[in-house]
Amino acid sequence: MAFYTPRERHIADLHEAFRTESIDRRTFFKVAGAAAVASGLSHNAPTPTLAAPRRGLRAQPEANALVYGSPQDISNLDPHTGHDYSIAWGQKAVYDALLRYEGNPGELKPLLATEVVGSPDATTWTIKLADNATFHDGSAVTAEAVQYNFQRMLRKNLGVAWMFATVMDQDSIEVVDPTTLNINLLKPFAPYDAVLPWLFVANPTVVQEHDVDGDEGEAWLKENEAGGGPYTIARWELGSSYEFTRYPEYWFDPENGIKPIDTFVWRIIRESATKRIAMETGEVQYGDWLSPEDLEALAATGQFVANQTPSMTPFAIKLNNQVGPTSDINVRKALSHAFDYEAALEAVSGRGTIMEGPLATGLEPWHKKDLPVLRHDMEAAKAALAASAHPDGFEMDYVYVTGDTTEELFGLILLEKAGELGITVNMVPMVWPDMVATAVEAETAPDSMAVYSGSDYLDPDNFLWQAYHSSQAGFWAAASHYMNPTFDKLLEDARADTNQENRKALYDEAQLMLVNDAVEIWVYTEIPNEAWVPELTDPYTPVMGGDLRTFGYQ
C-alpha cells in the first residue's frame, strides 16, 4: 500500500537518511568538542558559572556515600569467573580474599589469612586463617571453605585461574585443621603469596544452595554475593548502576583509622564529557577514564583532585624477535634509539613516566636502577641500522588497537623517526581479538605491536614471565616471541626461591639481559586519568580494582 505523496516520501527519506547516518566515535568527539567550545566548556575557556549553588556536590560526602563513575560494567561478580578492574572493585567490596594489597606501591597485608609461609623451595605454602572471620550469614570462614573456593576456581578455569592453574590442581589443597591449610604446589612458585589477594572466598553453603544443573551457583553469583566482605549488595541495576551498602557486622578492622564509606555506588558513565558534568554537579565523586582535557578542567575547579600516581602498567611496542627485519638485534636497537620517548609523553599530556627497562620504575624494589636503556639518539640509531642486515632500510608493520588514539600517536612517532632512517612503517589498526590471534605464531606476529600489560600482582614475575619466558611465546603479552634459555633459567630460578635478595639478583640480571637484547621498545607507564573529591583519602591503587577497606572521607 502506498501512503506517501512524492513530497511526503521526500521528507521521510530525508528523515531516514538522518536517522541511519553512521557516526564514528572520532567524529562524535570532534563535533562534541566543537559544541563544548561553543558553549564555554572547553578547558581553555573559564569554568562556566553555575546559575544555582551546587548543593549536590557536598550531599553525598556528608551522607558518607561515594558514587564512582566509570565506563565499564561490573559484568560478572562471581568471585572465580569474573576478572577485570570493575569486577575487582565489586569483588573486593563483598568478598574477603586471603590477603590484600594496601598503599602504593601495594604492600601485602593480612585479611582472611593471618600468616602465609612458603618453604624455601617455594613448593609448599602454609596458610593460617583468622579465627574470627565470618561470612554474612554469621558462619565461620574455615579451612574447608577456603579449600572449596580454591577447587571451584580451578574447576571453573576462568577469570583469575591463570594465576593458579599452572602451579596447582584440585589435590594441591590440604586442610590441616579448621584454620590451617597446606598448599602443595606442582612446581615452585615464589610469588604465590602475591597472587593470594585474588582468591576471593565465598560461602560454600550459599553457593551450593544456588546450584543449578551443577553450575556451582555460577549463574546466581553473577549478580549476587555469597561473601563475608565489608559490603553487601543493595541494588543491582544491570548495565547502569550497582549499589553496595556497608555490612555492619563486618569482622575485619584494617586498623588504618579510616571511617568506612556507608554506601558505594558503581555508576556506568561511558562518555568522559558526561562524567565530567556529573562530577561538577555533584552526582559523582570519583571518576575514571577521563579525557586529559576533562581531567584538567576538573582539577582547575579546585573541587577535585587529579591522580598523579603512575600505574604499574607498562606500555611497550613489541618487536618480533624471531621473524622479519626486527629479528635482527641491530634493527631493534636502531628502532629503540629512533623512538622519541619525550614526544610520546607529550602525546599523553605528560601523564606518565618514561620506562627505564621492562619493569615500571615504581615497582620497588624490583626495578633495576642503572640499566643501560636505549634513549632517543638518531646518530646511535643510524649506526645501529648500518650494522644490521638492513642498512638501507625496510618496510614494517605497526599494529595497534583500532580507534585507540594514544597507540596511534605512538605509531606516528615511530613512523616519523623510523622514516628518517629509511624505514617505512605501515600503520595497521586491528581489533584486539585479531591482534591476539596474529601474535600466536612468530610467523604471523606483526613486526611491531602496541601493548599495554596489566598489573595483577605486584611482583616482577607478573610482568617478566608472561612477556618474555619462552613458554609464553604466542601469548599477546609475549608477542615479541623472545626465546632465550639463559633468561628462562633466571626466571625459573627466581620462581623457585623465596629469598627475596636472591630473587632480586636474578631479576636484575634478567632485566639487564632484556635491555641488552633490545627485545622491545619500552615506552611509558601511564598515570591513570582519575579524579576524586578532596574529602576522600587517596583511593588510588596500582593493583587492579580499588579496595574500599583502604580509603574513605576524612
Partner 1 sequence: MSLATYILRRVLLIVPTLFGVSLLTFALSRIVPGDPARLAAGAQATPEMYEQIRREFGLDDPVPVQYWNYLSGLFQGDWGRSILSRRPVLEDLAVYWPATFELVLFAMLIAVLLGVPLGILAAVRADRPADQVSRIVALLGVSLPAFWLAILFQIFFGLRLGWLPVSGRLASLAEAPPTLTGLYTVDSLLSGQWATLGDSVRQLLLPAITLSFPAMATIMRFTRATLLETLGQDYVRTARAKGATERQVVTRHALRNALIPTVTMVGLSFGWAMGGSVLVETVFDWPGLGLYATKSALSLDFMPIMGIALLYGLVFSVINILVDVTYGALDPRVSRA
C-beta of 508: minimal distance to partner 1 in Å?
25
Q: Which of residues 32-51 bind partner 1 (CB under 8 A)?
A: 32, 35-36, 39, 41, 48, 50-51
Q: Which of residues 374-433 bind partner 1 (CB under 8 A)?
A: 431-433
N-terminal to C-terminal alpha carbon distance within the chain: 69
CA atoms within 13 A on the CB side of 184: 7
| Window contacting partner 1 (CB under 8 A); options: 60-68, 127-135, 498-506, 523-531 | 60-68
> Shortest CA distance to 406 belongs to which of 313, 541, 304?
313
# chain residues binding partner 1, by CB under 8 A: 83
Type of residue numbered 459: D
> Shortest CA distance to 204 belongs to which of 174, 183, 234, 228?
228
Q: Is residue 259 part of the contact set for partner 1 (CB under 8 A)?
A: no
Angle CA 71–77–80, to nearest 5: 125
The residue within the footprint of partner 1, chosen from 168, 173, 181, 269 (CB under 8 A), is 269
- Paired with 117 in beta bridges are 126
Q: Is residue 14 part of the contact set for partner 1 (CB under 8 A)?
A: yes
Q: Is residue 233 part of the contact set for partner 1 (CB under 8 A)?
A: no
Q: Which of residues 492-551 bind partner 1 (CB under 8 A)?
A: none
DSSP secondary structure string for all residues of 62-122: HTTEEEEEESS------TTT--SHHHHHHHHHH-EESEEEETTTTEEEESSEEEEEE-TTS
The residue within the footprint of partner 1, chosen from 45, 63, 300, 389 (CB under 8 A), is 63
The contact pattern for partner 1, residues 101-140, with x = CB under 8 A and - = no contact, is: ----------------------------------------
The residue within the footprint of partner 1, chosen from 143, 146, 163, 515 (CB under 8 A), is 163
Q: Is residue 283 part of the contact set for partner 1 (CB under 8 A)?
A: yes
Angle CA 47–52–58, to nearest 5: 85
Type of residue numbered 461: D
Closer Cβ to partner 1, 14 or 389, answer by number: 14
SS3 of residue 537 by DSSP = coil
> Shortest CA distance to 187 belongs to which of 158, 165, 154?
165
Closer Cβ to partner 1, 277 or 323, answer by number: 277
Cα separation, 389 vs 278, whole angstroms: 56
Kindly report the backbone phi and psi dihedral angles of residue 83, in degrees, each rounded to the nearest multiple of 5, phi listed first. -160, 100
The contact pattern for partner 1, residues 165-204, with x = CB under 8 A and - = no contact, is: xx--------------------------------------
All cell numbers assigned to 302: 579546585
The residue within the footprint of partner 1, chosen from 42, 58, 64, 65 (CB under 8 A), is 65
Place of cell 599452572: 166
| Window contacting partner 1 (CB under 8 A); options: 160-168, 251-259, 388-396, 411-419 | 160-168
Q: Is residue 302 part of the contact set for partner 1 (CB under 8 A)?
A: no
Q: Is residue 15 part of the contact set for partner 1 (CB under 8 A)?
A: yes
C-beta of 546: minimal distance to partner 1 in Å?
17
Closer Cβ to partner 1, 316 or 331, answer by number: 316
The residue within the footprint of partner 1, chosen from 13, 237, 342, 441 (CB under 8 A), is 237
**Which alpha helices (H) appear in 218-271, and where do they start and end?**
218-221
Length of the chain measured in residues: 554
| Window contacting partner 1 (CB under 8 A); options: 68-76, 108-116, 298-306, 316-324 | 68-76
Q: Which of residues 326-385 bind partner 1 (CB under 8 A)?
A: none
Place of cell 605454602: 125
How many CB atoms within 10 Å of residue 50?
10
Q: Is residue 20 part of the contact set for partner 1 (CB under 8 A)?
A: yes
Q: Which of residues 446-475 bind partner 1 (CB under 8 A)?
A: 454, 456, 466
